[in-house]
Structures are given as C-alpha cells and as structure tokens.
Structure 1
Amino acid sequence: MPILGKLVYTNSAPVSQTQRTPMSLLNDLRSTPRLGLLIGATAAAVGVIYGYDLSNIAGALLFLTKEFHLSTSDQEMVTTAVVVGEVLGALVGGWLSNRIGRKASMVAVAASYAAFALLSAFAPGIPVLMIARLFLGLTIGISVVVVPVFVAESSPAKVRGAMLVAYQVATVIGIILGYIASWALSSTGEWRWMLGLAALPAAAVLAILLKLPDTPRWYVMKGRFEEARRTLATIEPDSDIDAEIEGMRAALAEESGGRKSGAAKEMLRKPFLRATIFVVGLGFFIQITGINAVVYYSPRIFEAMGFSGNEALLLLPALVQAASLVAVFVSLALVDKVGRRPILLGGIGMMVVANALLIGVFLVGQSFGGALTVLGFLGVLLFTVGFTFGFGALVWVYAGESFPARLRSLGASTMLTSDLIANVVVSAFFLTMLQRLGGAGTFAVFGALAVAAFFFVRRLAPETKGRNLEDIRIFWENGGRWEPREVPAVRSEVPASGRDTA
C-alpha cells in the first residue's frame, strides 16, 4: 500500500497469489496474531445468533400453529415479521456503524438480541410475539451489515476471505443448533424454550465483544490515529504501521474529494455505479432463489414429500444443514486459494441441478415413497449444499470487499437490504406458492432464478482474492477490469514518395 498520494495498481501478483499449497490456509491462520483471530472469531460467532433464529422458528411453528390455530397466511406473517425487521436493520446498519463504530454496533446487537429473544419466549400471544420478532429482526439486520465490515477491516489480506466465510460457518452451526433444540423439545411442545434459548449465545458473544477494539479503518475515519496504530500493531505487528495509516488516510482523502463521507450519491455514479448494480443484484439473487424458504419451511417441504412425525420433520433439516456445514468448510479452505468467482459459480450451478431434480421428483411423485422420497431428500440436500458453498459463503466476502473504506458500510448495507427485501418476498409467499403451484412449479421458479443468477455473477462479479481492500476500487475504475483497457495508438501513415495513394 502506498504511503502517500494516489493508489496505483501495478502488474505484480496480488498478495495471496504466491505459491499456495493445501496447507497454506492453516499456516496463514497460525501466523495471524491472536487478537486478529479473536476479533474474526467473535464477529463470526454473531452468525450463530442469526442461524439459530432462522431455524428455531421452523420448529416452533409446528407447535405455535396448533396452540394458536394459525392459518397458512398467519404462519407466513409470524415468519416474515423477523425479516421485515431485518430490512429495517440493514437500512440503518451502515449509518450506525459509521456513526458509533463497528464494535459498538455489534455490542448493541448482541445485547438487544438477548432481550428480544426472552421477550419472544414470554409472549402471551401472537401480537406480542410478532412485535418481539420484528425487533429481533432489526438487530439481525444491523448485524449482517456490520459483521462483514468489522471482519474485513480487522483481518490481514491473506486470511480475510477465510475469516469472512467463517461467519457463514457460524450461521450454519446456529441453524443446526436451532433444529436440534427444536427436536429435543419436540416431545414437550415447549416452543417458548425453543425461542428463548437464543439469548444464551447472544450473552456469550456480548461478554467477549466488550473486550475488543474497533477496527483500524474506522479509527482513521474518525481521526483517532493513535488508537488505529495500537490496534494495527496488535493485529498486524509485522506491517509498516505508519505506511498503513497513511495509506488509509490517502485513500479516504482521495475518495471523498471534499464530499461527505459515505454519501449515497457516490454509489449512483461512476466509477461505483457498476459496483452498486453488482451488490444490489447479488443480494437480491441470494435470497430470491429460495434458500430461506427451505430453511424456514423445511418441515413443510418434507411433509409434502411424505415424511411425518416431529423427529423426521426436524432431524432431516438438521442433517441437511450438517452437510452444508461441510460444504462451507470446503469453501472456507478454498476461498483464498482458488478465488471467489469459481466458488460462487460452482455453488449456483449445484443449485440449478438440485432444482431440476426437485422438479422431476414432484412431477413424477403422485404418491411419495421409497426411491422417490430419497431423491427428494437428496434434491433438498444438494440445493442447500450448493447455496452454502457459493452464495452463503461469498455473500459476506463480497459485502466486506466490494467497496473502498468510506463506502464499505453503506455498500454492505445496500447489498444486504436488497438481500432481505427478496427474503421478505420468499418467506411471505412460499407456502402459498407451494399450495397453488405445487412442488414442481415452485422449484421451477427457483430454478429459473438460479440460472439468471449464474449469468449475472459470471458477467459482473470481481475476483478479489488477495487484493488489498484499498485497491479493490481499481476494478470498478477500470470498468470492471483489473487491467486498464488499452487504447489503440492512433497511427499516422505517410504515403511513400511517388506511391499512388488513391
């Protein structure tokens, strides 16, 4: 990173493209200072909260529906309340993290989540439960904006991708824990315990967060340079601290151009308009392709395939998520080795194949059983594994890497707001789609959207592997290329003497 002046791209290899081996990720993690790993791991642990909330409502709905005699639309409303809150949280998350800091925002998230999880558990009826879930969603929406920024700005380039993917690892672990807790309590029907247990991981994360510093880049944005130096010295002790600080200052000064930091209008004009189109589209495709329909309503999908009983309807989703956990570990190991684009495109490709399989299963399956039911389960498994390997892992990477420092929180907020708006649509109408279109029609819609997502990503997604955060803006400045476009030289040909030029 340059010390002064304009950041200039050179043709030298990016930071992490030197001779990497299968053991390189482990070696990089071992060489990363303890504080850097602690910050990344703690921030990623917030994903457990998010994941638990995604799945525990699936189990709780089985008993809420019976106790309160909920219709299909009522179930969709209870599920969607948290997603509406997430949209609101994502809208303010970028502003909040710039205003009070990445760390302070995450502390507020953990404390608030614990409080509203307990309110959900003690709700006397559906109206109070929906209010509690709306505020739960608000805290989650803030967290999905702040966590990628917090991790990206606190991690060395050589392990940044892995630390961002770790958030998805934690999210999947949270989903599995939610299903297991629901299964363990299914014999009692205690939906209040299912919802209230979410306060425990939130309290644990809160205790650790209070001891951590904020990110160096946020300190620089606020002019708190000594705190930035101290934090950098503990996170990257081998780096040139003064050069890093000066590089951040130069980048912020050049990018701001005298304008208010984080101004939304910068994202709507060149060079960052292309980046904005990319993050809005990526965020939308991540959810509109249907993953949270599978997470929220897995028991209903498996019920449509002929499975029955609480154990089957809650353990099968847990098995699916266990497989996706393996997939995200593979993604984590490869993201800084083979790059972001191959992983993302490979995962979407698996989702397309899974949708085709599920369409066939539902078209053939007049009465499920035997091999047909097994194929249906494998279709859901492949769909979830493909999502987690690609979209699920890379959303946090691109949320943290797509914009330069001063626009990073706003960019992440924009991306994840788009993501959550699509989530509202899916969670609000999936059960209705399943009833009216059937399984084949529903997964045909998701399949078509997955194909569109594949070509969108192939066209616009940057390969950010190993790039310094402050250099990623060069990709957008060059019109979606790392190398500047070559302008052909104008040739001036003078006819040879005596030669006919007609």
Structure 2
Amino acid sequence: MVARSEPDPGTAGGSTRGIITVAAVGGLLFGYDTGVISGALLFIEQDFTLTPLLSGVVVSSILVGAMVGALSSGSLSDRFGRRPLLIAAALLFAIGSVAAAAAPSAALLVAARVVLGLAVGMASTLVPVYISEMAAAGRRGRLVAVNQLMITIGIVLAYAANYAFADVGGWRAMFLVALLPAAVLGVGMVFLPETPRFLIRTGRTEEARAVLARLRGGAGVEAEIAEIAGARGETGGAGLRGLLRPWVRPALVAGIGLQILGQASGVNTVIYYAPTIFRETGLEASGAILATVGIGAVNVVGTLVGMNVVDRWGRTRLLTAGAAVMAVSLAVLAVALGIGGPAAPALAFGAVVLYVVAVATSLNVVVFIIPTELYPLSVRGSAMSVTLFANWGMNFLVALTFLSLLEALGGAATFWAYAAVCAALALFAARVIPETKGRTLEQIEADLRAAGTPTHRP
C-alpha cells in the first residue's frame, strides 16, 4: 500500500468545501421536495377532496420516481460520470417543481411528483458518491455528511415554506420555491470537475491529476493516483453483474440491510406526516405545522453533532447507539398516543424530538456514508443504485401504508411496531455492519477482496 499524506487544510480546504457545498445542493433539494408535502398535504386534501388512500398516493408518488431514478442513475454514472447525471437531476428538479405548482388535478400532481422523484433518486445516489470520491480519507465521513446536513436544511426550508403559506393555503407556492436551488445546482455543476476516481477508471489520468492537485493542494497527489490506479487494475467485472461476485456480497448485505431496516424504522413518517401525528394528539393545523418547523430545526442541529463525531466515534458505534435511542423514543410516542389526555401532546412532542435527535445524529449521518465506503470502485455507482432502490422501495411501502395503518391500528400500535424495527436495526449495526472510519476507499476495497468481508473491525 502506498503511503500518502492528508491535504493541508489551509491550501486545499477552501476548494474542497466549495465543490462539496455546490454538489450538496442536490441534498437540499432532496430534503425540500420530500419534506414539503407534510404541510402541503393538509391543503391538497381539501382542494382535491382526497381519501386517506389517495393522500398516501400523493405522498408516495415521489418515491416511485425515486426508485426509478436511483436504480438507473448509478449504472449510468459508472458509464458517463457523476457530474453529467447531477446536471440532469437539477433539470428534473426544476421541471417537477413547476409542474407540481401548476397541477390542476390530483392525477397531474402525482405525475409531477414522480418527476421530482426521479431527481430525488438520482441525487440520493450520486451526491454521496460524488463527495466520497472527492474527499480525503480522514475527513470523508464528515464531508459526505454535508449531504445529510443539506437534506435536513432542505426539510427545514420546506417546513418554513409550509408555515409561511399556511394561512392562505398556498400549497402551489410551497412547491415552486424549489426552483431556485434547482437552478443553483444545475449552473454550479457545470463549473465543477468530475471525480478523480472516475477519471482514472476511464483512463483520464491527467485530468484526475489536475483535480487532485486542486483538492489536495499538491500534497500526496502522485501517491493517491498510484493507489487509485492500483485498485482499478485489481478490479474486474464492472456493472450490475459485478455485484454477484462472492467477495462483494458481504458489502451488499451490510449496505442494503441498512437501507431496509433504516426505512422500516419509520424514519420518514415523521418527515412526511409530522403535522398529521401532532394533530392526532389534539393540535390544530397551524400549530401542528409550527411544531414541525421546530422538529426540523432539531434535525439540523442533530446532524451537525453527528457530522462532528462520525470520524471520531466510527460509523457502527454511532449507528448502534442511535438506533437504541430511536427504539426507546418511539415506545414513548406509542405510550403518549395510547393514553391520550391533556399531557399527550407534550409527551408526544418530547418523544418525537428525542427520536429526531437520535436519527439525525446517527442513522441519517451514516446511511449514505457506509455504502459509499464499502463498495468497490468498479461497481460503486451500480451498487449504490441497487442500495438506494432498496431504500426508496421500503420508503415507498412505509409512506403508502402509514395513514392506513394509523387508521386501522391506531397510533400506539403503529409506533410500537416501528420501535421494534429500531431495536432490530441496533442489533444489525452491531453484528453485521463493519467499521470503515479513517481508511481510504482503496484500503477498504483491498480488505474486502482479501478477506471476503468488507473490512476489519477495530
């Protein structure tokens, strides 16, 4: 293994931060377009006279597009690059936002949200890969987590837009706000470089050298090129068929299992249906939306905390502890919904705050970091596609069935079930997901190939 030094933050940090911030606007759009429906739905239901099932379709339609966008974008990015696909995602974000704002019927609103879903699925797959392949090993966890920070900021902006337009029932304006960040992402990506790992994999070493010199400030560039090129030379069988190789399967089990259990834990029910949950405890619509804005702010703060500890504590330890707290907080929420009475709103709000803190500091920070680190270069895009397809598929099932479960089982039983899944996630993290902190992507791949497991546990 070729030794190389970390970049000098004083020379390279500004360039890296600028590139990653622009790319992570895709995360902001991801958060905004998935979160905005939580408040908009209260008024869409009135305008279009929706049943609980049709409300679920409006909410979950974005996830159908996300599944398609996630599944297709990874393999395309392995062929054409990460950057062109992110530019295409920005265009779809813009088209979908305008179409949703102008939709004259529920059917056309569903279609517009499918388009937005295509963009969300592409962003969820490509932004973490883009950032991971740009970042140095020692700061990779924190930098990839910038994507999650931007997602949470996008959610808060969505909640703020919900509240700003709530008095006039302006759900169309809520959707249209996303047009501005879509323009920022599209124009910004035109001026950003392709990732050095993709460039080296496609034989464009001189371009990769220039990008790495910009990112690292000249420190250890040749050693990093040699390491990336060495991993490229060892890897065979790219594309989806490469995922079938025995030495890759443990990484897929860890990556896909994390997505399925993470979504099945009910994480997005709070994002999509927080106002609905609070109304179950007796709050009015405007009060429910305002409470949700507070939840979004807690989400941002929790993400900042998680970003600052993930490279010190490690991915697995952080996730295990966070999932355990998630289980406890959802159990408390189930109790609050079960007992009712004047104390129920405060108890439910406290439980949701604790849950969001646990999710934001752990699951949401590592959910994109872990797979981008585990998967080998030749199949990274394709593996992320399959992984995020699993994520959005489970997300779709949860979003589509939540209101029906709430109606059929009641809030208490529904959240007891989600609490049980959180406990299972904690066990899965402790037993199955390996630790990857502080290691280069090429070192992780070498361990994966040599040992038949994604990497060693410290």
Q: TM-score range by the shorter chain?
A: over 0.9
In the alignment of these two chains, the number of paired residues is 456
How much has 1:140 moved relative to structure 2?
0.8
Structure 2: how far apart are the matches of 1:309 and 1:247? 56
State yes or no: 1:390 paired with 2:362: yes
Structure 1: how far apart are the matches of 2:345 and 2:54? 29
How much has 1:147 moved relative to structure 2?
0.6
Find the partner of 2:261 among 264, 274, 285. Answer: 285
Higher helix share: 2
Structure 1: how far apart are the matches of 2:435 and 2:422? 20
Quote the residue 1:376 is aligned against.
348
How much has 1:109 moved relative to structure 2?
0.7
How much has 1:482 moved relative to structure 2?
4.6
Structure 2: how far apart are the matches of 1:41 and 1:481? 29
Checking the alignment, whether the CA contact within 8 Å between 2:200 and 2:228 is kept in structure 1 is yes
Residue type of the alignment partner of 2:125: V
Structure 1: how far apart are the matches of 2:272 and 2:34? 6
Structure 2: how far apart are the matches of 1:350 and 1:30? 38
- 1:170-215 deviation line (CA, Å, top 9, x unaligned): 1111101101111111111111101111111111222221111110
- 1:400-425 deviation line (CA, Å, top 9, x unaligned): 21112112112221221111110010
Structure 2, gaps ≥5 residues long: none
- 1:432-487 deviation line (CA, Å, top 9, x unaligned): 00111111110111011111111111111111111011111244342447559xxx
Structure 1: how far apart are the matches of 2:379 and 2:454? 20
Residue type of the alignment partner of 1:278: A
Mapping 1:325-474, distance limit 5 Å? 325-365=300-340, 368-369=341-342, 371-474=343-446
Structure 1: how far apart are the matches of 2:269 and 2:103? 25
Q: With structure 1 as the length reference, what TM-score do the two structures score?
A: 0.87
Residue type of the alignment partner of 2:358: G
How much has 1:238 moved relative to structure 2?
3.3
Residue type of the alignment partner of 2:329: A
Structure 2: how far apart are the matches of 1:294 and 1:407? 33
Quote the residue 2:164 is aligned against.
184
Structure 1: how far apart are the matches of 2:218 and 2:253? 37
Structure 1: how far apart are the matches of 2:283 and 2:405? 20
State yes or no: 1:228 paired with 2:208: yes
Q: Please say which of residues 168-177 and 403-412 is displaced more in the overlay.
A: 403-412
Structure 1, gaps ≥5 residues long: 4-13, 17-26, 485-502
Residue type of the alignment partner of 1:213: P
State yes or no: 1:239 paired with 2:214: no
Checking the alignment, whether the CA contact within 8 Å between 2:159 and 2:296 is kept in structure 1 is no
Mapping 1:27-38, distance limit 5 Å? 32-38=12-18
Greater Rg over alpha carbons, structure: 1
Residue type of the alignment partner of 1:52: Y
State yes or no: 1:195 paired with 2:168: no
RMSD, aligned CA: 1.9
Structure 1: how far apart are the matches of 2:322 and 2:24? 21
How much has 1:268 moved relative to structure 2?
2.5
Find the partner of 1:305 among 274, 281, 305. Answer: 281
- 1:11-31 deviation line (CA, Å, top 9, x unaligned): xxx989xxxxxxxxxx98556
Q: With structure 2 as the length reference, what TM-score do the two structures score?
A: 0.96
Quote the residue 1:2 is aligned against.
2
Checking the alignment, whether the CA contact within 8 Å between 1:28 and 1:158 is kept in structure 2 is no
- 1:311-344 deviation line (CA, Å, top 9, x unaligned): x121111101211211110111111112111211
How much has 1:244 moved relative to structure 2?
2.2
**CA 1:144–1:457: 2 relative to 1, 3 Å:** same
Structure 1: how far apart are the matches of 2:331 and 2:148? 26
Residue type of the alignment partner of 1:334: V
- 1:267-319 deviation line (CA, Å, top 9, x unaligned): 23321111111111111111111111111111110010111132x12111110
How much has 1:241 moved relative to structure 2?
2.7
Find the partner of 1:111 among 87, 91, 105. Answer: 91
Structure 2: how far apart are the matches of 1:240 and 1:377? 50
How much has 1:32 moved relative to structure 2?
3.8
**CA 1:354–1:29: 2 relative to 1, 3 Å:** farther
Checking the alignment, whether the CA contact within 8 Å between 1:219 and 1:225 is kept in structure 2 is yes
Structure 2: how far apart are the matches of 1:15 and 1:133? 45
Checking the alignment, whether the CA contact within 8 Å between 1:15 and 1:466 is kept in structure 2 is no
Quote the residue 1:57 is aligned against.
37
Question: Sequence identity, in percent?
Answer: 33
Checking the alignment, whether the CA contact within 8 Å between 2:67 and 2:393 is kept in structure 1 is yes
Structure 2: how far apart are the matches of 1:31 and 1:161? 20
**CA 1:106–1:481: 2 relative to 1, 3 Å:** closer
Quote the residue 1:497 is aligned against.
none
Secondary structure of the structure 1 residue equivalent to 2:283: coil
Checking the alignment, whether the CA contact within 8 Å between 1:85 and 1:136 is kept in structure 2 is yes
Residue type of the alignment partner of 2:304: F
Secondary structure of the structure 2 residue equivalent to 1:2: coil
Find the partner of 1:97 among 60, 77, 96. Answer: 77
Structure 2: how far apart are the matches of 1:120 and 1:359? 34
Checking the alignment, whether the CA contact within 8 Å between 1:348 and 1:450 is kept in structure 2 is yes
Q: Please say which of residues 199-208 and 129-138 is displaced more in the overlay.
A: 199-208
State yes or no: 1:162 paired with 2:142: yes
